[in-house]
């Protein structure tokens, strides 16, 4: 068995090196039939830690995390940090394969992600030059990154490469695309639109998901 130093281990021998040849490929834990690039780089080994923890006061199974091709870098963790839900999966949205959804003349978007748990949503916007979004109030924090073009918000102009944080409660006047513009918008909650007569519309994760599902159905139907 190849041995290597264990950093921060309570005592020598508390954690054991995984018994695997140095360059042997690692099977993915989600799909055992596949070779996983991530799992090849990092392997996780459950090993017993005999010392009590500040949370339980008793023994707890620890985790040893090792780099696949550098067994000399080994870190001993005092707690088991493996997820309780073994079926956790990343969410990937291939925006290049998505159709633009026109929600107003001159304004289109691609809904990348919505969360029913948190109300957070992420959208890719595309506005034609001269497009104007109505004045609105943010009911949560929001983040924007301009990918191309430029936007004018009140007296400020956001250009390509600019990042903008918009705090909860912020009021924004009409937002204008000074040229053909695309930007990534991440919002932690809803946005409320209004005019001089009162509220005009409300945009949150539920509305976006309904719009997106309807749009996808139309695209599938041809």
- Cα 117-80-25 angle, rounded to 5 deg: 95
Do 112 and 44 fall into the same domain? Answer: no
Do 117 and 210 fall into the same domain? Answer: yes
pLDDT by residue (tens digit) across 144-171?
999 999 999 888 899 999 999 999 999 9
Backbone angles phi, psi at 209, to 5 degrees: -65, -40
Identify whether 89 is part of a domain: no
Do 114 and 182 fall into the same domain? Answer: yes
What pLDDT sits at residue 151? Answer: 96
The residue among 38, 56, 83 that closes a domain is 83
Q: Are 15 and 49 in contact (CB under 8 A)?
A: yes
- Cα 140-142-148 angle, rounded to 5 deg: 160
The model's pTM is 0.65
Q: Once rounded to an integer, what is the mean pLDDT over residues 50-54?
A: 46
Do 174 and 212 fall into the same domain? Answer: yes
CATH of the domain at 210: 2.60.120.10
Instruction: Write out the residue range of the structural domain in which residue 39 sits.
Output: 1-83
Q: How many domains does the chain have?
A: 2
Identify whether 10 is part of a domain: yes
Do 103 and 7 fall into the same domain? Answer: no
Distance, in Å, from the CA atom of 197 to the CA atom of 175, rounded to the nearest integer, reads 19
Q: Is the pLDDT of residue 182 over 90?
A: yes
| Mean per-residue pLDDT of the chain | 78
Identify whether 90 is part of a domain: no
Backbone angles phi, psi at 171, to 5 degrees: -100, 130
What pLDDT sits at residue 59? Answer: 47
């Amino acid at each position: 068995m190849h041995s290597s130093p264990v950093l921060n281990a309570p005592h020598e021998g508390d954690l054991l090196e995984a018994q695997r040849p140095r360059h042997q490929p690692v099977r993915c834990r989600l799909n055992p039939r596949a070779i996983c690039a991530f799992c090849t780089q990092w392997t996780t080994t459950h090993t017993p830690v005999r010392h009590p923890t500040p949370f339980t006061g008793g023994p707890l199974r620890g985790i040893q995390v090792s780099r696949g091709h550098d067994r000399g870098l080994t870190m001993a963790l005092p707690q088991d940090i493996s997820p309780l839900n073994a079926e956790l999966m990343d969410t990937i949205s291939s925006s290049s394969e998505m159709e633009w959804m026109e929600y107003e003349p001159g304004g289109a978007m691609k809904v990348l992600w919505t969360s029913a748990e948190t109300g957070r949503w992420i959208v890719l916007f595309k506005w034609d030059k001269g497009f104007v979004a109505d004045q609105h109030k943010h009911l949560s924090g929001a983040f924007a990154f301009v990918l191309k073009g430029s936007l004018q918000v009140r007296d400020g102009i956001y250009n390509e490469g600019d990042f903008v944080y918009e705090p909860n409660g912020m009021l924004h006047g009409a937002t204008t695309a000074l040229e053909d513009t695309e930007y990534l918008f991440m919002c932690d909650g809803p946005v409320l639109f209004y005019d001089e007569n009162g509220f005009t519309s409300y945009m949150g994760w539920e509305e976006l998901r309904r719009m997106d599902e309807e749009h996808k159905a139309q695209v599938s139907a041809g």
